[in-house]
Amino acid sequence: MSDLQIALVLIGIVVVGGVLAFNWWQERRFRKQASAAFDAPVNDVLMQPAVARHEPAARIEPELHEPTFGEQPIVPDEADANLESHLPHPSAPVSPSPAVPAPTPLRNEPRPAASITAPVAAAPYDELIEYRIRLGAENVLANVFADAFNQSRQMGKNVRWLGLPVAATQWEEVQPWRDVHYQQVMVTAQLADRNGAIQEDMLSQLCALLQHIAQTHHLKMACDDTGDAMERAQSIDRFCVDVDVLIGLNVVARGDGTVELSRIVREAEQSGMVLGRDGVFQLLDSRGELLYALCNHDAEPFTANVAPGHESLGVTLQFDVPRVPDGLKVFDTMVAFGRKLANEVGGLLVDDNLRPLTDAGIEKIRSQLTQLYERMESRGVPSGSRRALRLFS
């Protein structure tokens, strides 16, 4: 090895050693600075020091607080009890020595009757199918909501206005033209119906209307979460589409003949059906809700007086599945009535594809109905219930 090579090796060793030494010195200096920085106390704007306590400060996370509504007032009896635990009875003798207080005597006399505030009834809000906005105030006149009330009627979905009058315990429908003062108002929008799910811009529009009122009249306001409401709306709409079934049974003549309408009308009236303004016979329940309907195949509707010999290609019995309570029983009643009509006019009972309905075919429909009704029950929407009537409207 030449002298030059040896010199280069020595120079390399010196340079590497110098770099290692410099790195060690820098690392030691930075470690000291970091240790000093973390050891020094630093005030955190989100840390509140414990006052007069030997506990570490608790970190306070930012929160959003929703206005509270419907708080129950303190019952006078409870307030009196709290005060009596600290105050002597007026009839107690005054002790001459302040160091020895006189004992309060036991009282057996009845206490005067206290005015007990009646509990406020819960607002009729359906948490499954409605979006809710709440407004709170000590005293707000009904006509404050007149413009928003009228605009909400044009949104395409059912919007309900409910109010709790001042000093009242029962909620009522808000009527802006009445001279009524409210302490709470709740506005709800139905999330879905047979026309589909509510649109997000509808909810935003409704919130904006009420937000303007709240700011103008210094009212507290709380809206349900819009994102959650839209998810529920889509879910409810899919469910409604799956179970929204209309069953039609037809009575037609054999071959190319016709059926005599006068006989059909007589049987309908004898079975308890009533003729509606639209020319359709209806069988109603005790609530006035439709169980099933009977309509003419021809464009001409039924009339109160059908002349003998007036004929038609056939008639149809219609059964709106989700709106009928005790649906299987009503379906059986409709089938029996359809068979009776077919016998009366010498026709046939057929399905929508004009295929004769046999016992096996009827049983197949009943089986499908059973599955639909079980699904509705599991979703909390029993057929014919108030909730079902609202969704399938």
Residue 208: band (very low, low, confident or very high) from pLDDT cuts 50, 70, 90: very high
Alpha-carbon span 109 to 112, nearest angstrom: 9
Residue 311 has pLDDT above 80, yes or no: yes
* pLDDT band of 19, cuts 50, 70, 90: low
Q: Over the stretch 137-181, which tens digit does the pLDDT of each residue have?
A: 889 999 999 999 999 999 989 999 999 999 999 999 999 999 999
Phi and psi at residue 219, to the nearest 5°: -105, 150
Residues of the chain with pLDDT > 90, as a percent, come to 60
Sequence-ordered alpha helix ranges (H) in the chain: 3-39, 76-84, 146-152, 200-217, 226-243, 261-270, 327-345, 359-378, 386-391
Contact between 385 and 325 (Cβ < 8 Å) = yes
- In a 13 Å sphere around the CA of 88, the CA atoms on its Cβ side amount to 11
The per-residue pLDDT for 308 is 78
Rounded to an integer, the average pLDDT of 350-372 is 94
How far does the chain reach from its first CA to its final CA, in angstroms?
103
| Measured distance CA(334)–CA(302) in Å, rounded | 19
- Cα separation, 340 vs 202, in Å, equals 49
Distance CA 68, CA 71 (A): 7
- CA distance linking residue 317 with residue 264, whole number of Å: 12
How high does pLDDT run on average in the chain? 80
Would the pLDDT of 72 be above 50? Answer: no
Instruction: Work out the widest C-alpha separation in the chain, in whole angstroms.
Output: 136
Of the CA atoms within 13 Å of residue 351, those in its CB half-sphere come to 13
For residues 209 and 144, give the distance between their C-alpha atoms in angstroms, rounded to a whole number. Answer: 12
Instruction: List the single range of 135-139, 324-328, 366-370 with lowest mean pLDDT.
Output: 135-139
* Contact (CB, 8 A) for 190 and 202: no
Nearest to 73 by CA among 165, 163, 167, 137: 167
Q: Which of 249, 258, 243 is nearest to 370 (CA)?
A: 243
Residue pair 327/335 in contact by the 8 Å Cβ criterion: no
Amino acid in position 43: N
- pLDDT category of residue 1 using cuts at 50, 70 and 90: low
pLDDT surpassing 70 at residue 390: yes
Measured CA to CA, the distance from residue 114 to residue 116 in angstroms comes to 6
pLDDT digits (tens, 9 = 90+) for 237-287: 999 999 999 999 999 999 888 899 999 999 999 999 999 999 999 999 999
Burial of 241 (0-12, 13-18, 19+ CB in 10 A): exposed
Residue 23 above 90 pLDDT? no
pTM: 0.67
Angle formed at CA 128 by CA 123 and CA 129, multiple of 5 degrees: 90
Q: Show the CA angle centred on residue 91, arms to residues 88 and 94, nearest 5°.
A: 70
Q: How confident is the model at residue 25 (pLDDT cuts 50, 70, 90)?
A: low
* Type of residue found at 255: G
pLDDT band, residue 27 (cuts 50/70/90): low
State pLDDT tens for residues 222-243: 999 999 999 999 999 999 999 9
